[in-house]
Structure 1
Amino acid sequence: MALRRGFKAEAKRLALQVREELGVAVFAPLDPYALAELYGIEVCDLSHPTLPADAVRHFTGPAAAAFSGALLAVGTGRVIVENHVHEPTRRRSTIAHEMAHVLLEHDVDLLLTAEDLCQSSASAVEQEANELAGELLVPRDAATVAAFRGWTDASVARYFRVSESMARWRMNATAARRVACRSRNKWLRPAVNAGTA
């Protein structure tokens, strides 16, 4: 299922507005936990004492890969529950994804995030949340700057504090390296032609 027409541009604008609210430049890592705090969204992990012990053991043990996080409705507010046994980069992606649902005002009582954000989902709201989360964590314009600097996926991941798979997805989805390559070729072409005249 493809994103609705114009959504990527909408996500880019929204991510830029959010970064401005947080005082975070486009080419700077965004802290999704600070974003949740700004919007008054509490973030809890699976060690919270109110959660059922059997479920916690299951999702922090044999089924740890099956549960990344959830956006829960609590009264008129929202709470994010994250899986604290995951790597910090995955947890940052989870929080960004759940906050994307909040920012997009998706009408849900419970949204679960499982596995890797880079995999497409059958649900339109999940795809929109994936796209906005990616734009929040590695903005299109920042990916282009990274491409012009010749950064590897590992460099992008380290700088923006995301997983390498997230970095790879953003660099590919934004076509940042292709844009940088075309621009370099365009700059070099006149110089080559002038040298042969």
Structure 2
Amino acid sequence: MSSFKQWAENKSLELRLQNGLKSYDYISAQQLANYLGVKIFTPNEIPRMSLDVFDSIKNNWSANTLICGDKYYIIHNNTHSPQRQQSNLMHEMAHIILKHSPEQLISANGLLLRHINEQNEKEAEWLGGCLQLPRQLLFELFRRGESVDNIICKYQVSIEMLRYRTNVTGLKNTFKSIKI
């Protein structure tokens, strides 16, 4: 495992411990945001947002981090499933924890285009997944024989996230009886 990936796994466990949790306890995106001092809001909480803009946002967008001075805010799409919302929020908090610079907007022929830093996105994807389901947590749950349905329900993750984390952590090979 690369040093970044190991750091991310350790960081997710460290944040649980700092919140008075055990390594295998659930931490919600809201709980983590409170700990980090991040305010989470939705598009419908923005005064004077038109319905057209709101419809465009909810159909084409998941979440974004805004920075004002030294304060962080995450605006997220609350029309997604609760599991997807947790994933979106953890991804954005990963950007904050990693101190990634906000994405740049590039003007091209009067249009604003978002420039995405692929390395930052890969790091946030990995850390976001670790925040939801650290390897140590999954190992413990599988060792105890926890069912897939219980993990999804208790940890507010999608089947896709559970499958992804089980595969990338190598636990699929360790616990061959787990069917996801």
* Normalised-by-shorter TM-score class: 0.7 to 0.9
CA distance in 1, matches of 2:147, 2:162: 9
CA contact (8 A) 1:71 1:110 kept: no
**Counterparts of 1:31-180 in structure 2 under 5 Å?**
31-50=28-47, 52-53=49-50, 54-60=52-58, 63=59, 66-108=60-102, 123-180=118-175
C-alpha displacement of 1:150: 3.9
C-alpha displacement of 1:41: 0.9
CA distance in 2, matches of 1:180, 1:89: 24
Q: Percent identity?
A: 27
CA contact (8 A) 1:42 1:79 kept: yes
Larger radius of gyration: 1
C-alpha displacement of 1:51: 6.1
RMSD: 2.4
CA distance in 1, matches of 2:37, 2:103: 17
Over 3 Å counting, the alpha-carbon distance change for 1:101 and 1:122 in structure 2 is closer
- Superimposed CA distance per residue, residues 39-89 of structure 1 (whole angstroms, 9 cap, x where no aligned partner): 1111010111336312112223xx2xx211000122332110010111111
CA distance in 1, matches of 2:48, 2:8: 33
CA contact (8 A) 2:16 2:25 kept: no
- Superimposed CA distance per residue, residues 114-161 of structure 1 (whole angstroms, 9 cap, x where no aligned partner): xxxxxxx97111111111111111110111122323445433212211
Q: Secondary structure at the match of 1:70?
A: strand
The 4+ residue runs of structure 1 with deviation greater than 6 A are none
- Superimposed CA distance per residue, residues 19-54 of structure 1 (whole angstroms, 9 cap, x where no aligned partner): 111112111111111111111111010111336312
Over 3 Å counting, the alpha-carbon distance change for 1:51 and 1:162 in structure 2 is farther
Gapped regions of structure 1 (runs ≥ 5): 112-120, 182-197
CA contact (8 A) 1:73 1:109 kept: no
Q: Which amino acid aligns with 1:108?
A: P
C-alpha displacement of 1:109: 5.3
TM-score by length of 2: 0.82
- Superimposed CA distance per residue, residues 72-114 of structure 1 (whole angstroms, 9 cap, x where no aligned partner): 1223321100101111111111111111111111122579xxx
Aligned length: 166
- Superimposed CA distance per residue, residues 149-194 of structure 1 (whole angstroms, 9 cap, x where no aligned partner): 344543321221111111111111111131235xxxxxxxxxxxxx
CA distance in 2, matches of 1:175, 1:167: 12
Gapped regions of structure 2 (runs ≥ 5): 106-115
